[in-house]
């Protein structure tokens, strides 16, 4: 048996490397497409996260022989080009579907995703999915909504606890208004009544300034000697 030519060995190694580095693969038949058509398709697939390349079926079969990609052999008939997916498989499937709508000669045969074969119909379903970014945004929104509800609930817990404590205090006679000043004072801390000083004061009221001044003005009269009898009184005496 002759040794394989170096260029063929290089192609086989390239196919193996591309298959191992891809998250998914899609096998197509490009019979009837022009060079310009293939260039346009390759450009759209590159933008979607795929790498599109033409290989001979015999070399691809040699590359996948005995590997986990061996099931792809059933799609290897006719002029074959493989799309190696490195990003979102649904985006690559959508690019292939959109191109095939305007170029009917492009045939999507099937592919492999996560170690399992996928049919053209399944690839069409993948093409109908929203982009990966949209799915992630929807997932994040679905997670964020319960978290927001939980945060609101946690925020309301202190308020509810305060209301519950106030209701408990009111129920047990802690005060009708709930104000701190309404709480009863502890035993022994009673302050004297505001009227107490009046009750302890002497019965007699203190003299006012006018009352104190009157004895001073009347003092000379009290100390003066008795007056002599008048003439009438003297006549009676004689």
Q: What is the per-residue pLDDT for 176? A: 47
Q: What is the per-residue pLDDT for 157? A: 54
Q: Taking a C-beta distance cutoff of 8 angstroms, is the pair 45, 52 a contact?
A: yes
Tell me if the pTM is above 0.85.
no
pLDDT digits (tens, 9 = 90+) for 50-62: 999 999 999 999 9
Q: What is the per-residue pLDDT for 62? A: 95
Across the chain, mean pLDDT equals 74
Extract the residue ranges of the chain whose pLDDT is less than 50.
1, 176-181, 183, 186, 189, 191-202, 204-225, 227-238
Return d(Cα 82, Cα 19) in angstroms, integer. 10
> Which residue reads 């999915």 in tokens?
129
| Residue 210 CB burial class (10 angstroms; 0-12, 13-18, ≥19) | exposed
Map out the domains of the chain with their CATH numbers. 6-133 (3.30.70.1730)
Q: What is the per-residue pLDDT for 216? A: 46
Q: What is the per-residue pLDDT for 229? A: 47
């Amino acid at each position: 048996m002759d040794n394989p030519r170096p260029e063929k060995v290089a192609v086989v190694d390239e196919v193996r490397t591309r298959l191992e580095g891809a998250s998914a693969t899609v096998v197509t038949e490009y019979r009837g497409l022009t060079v310009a058509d293939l260039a346009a398709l390759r450009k759209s697939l590159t933008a979607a996260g795929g790498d599109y390349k033409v290989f001979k079926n015999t070399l691809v079969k040699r590359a996948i022989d005995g590997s986990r990609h061996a099931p792809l052999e059933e799609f290897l008939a006719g002029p074959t080009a493989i799309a190696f997916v490195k990003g979102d498989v649904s985006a690559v499937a959508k690019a292939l579907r959109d191109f095939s709508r305007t170029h009917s000669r492009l045939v999507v045969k099937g592919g492999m995703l996560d170690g399992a074969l996928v049919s053209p119909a399944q690839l069409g379903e993948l093409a109908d999915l929203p982009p990966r970014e949209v799915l992630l945004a929807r997932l994040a929104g679905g997670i964020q909504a319960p978290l927001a509800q939980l945060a609101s609930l946690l925020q309301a817990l202190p308020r509810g606890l305060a209301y519950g404590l106030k209701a408990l205090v009111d129920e047990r006679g802690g005060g009708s208004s709930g104000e701190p000043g309404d709480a009863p004072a502890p035993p022994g801390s009673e302050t004297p009544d505001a009227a107490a000083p009046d009750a302890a004061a002497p019965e007699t009221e203190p003299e006012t300034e006018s009352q104190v001044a009157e004895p001073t003005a009347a003092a000379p009269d009290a100390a003066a000697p008795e007056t002599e009898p008048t003439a009438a009184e003297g006549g009676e005496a004689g």
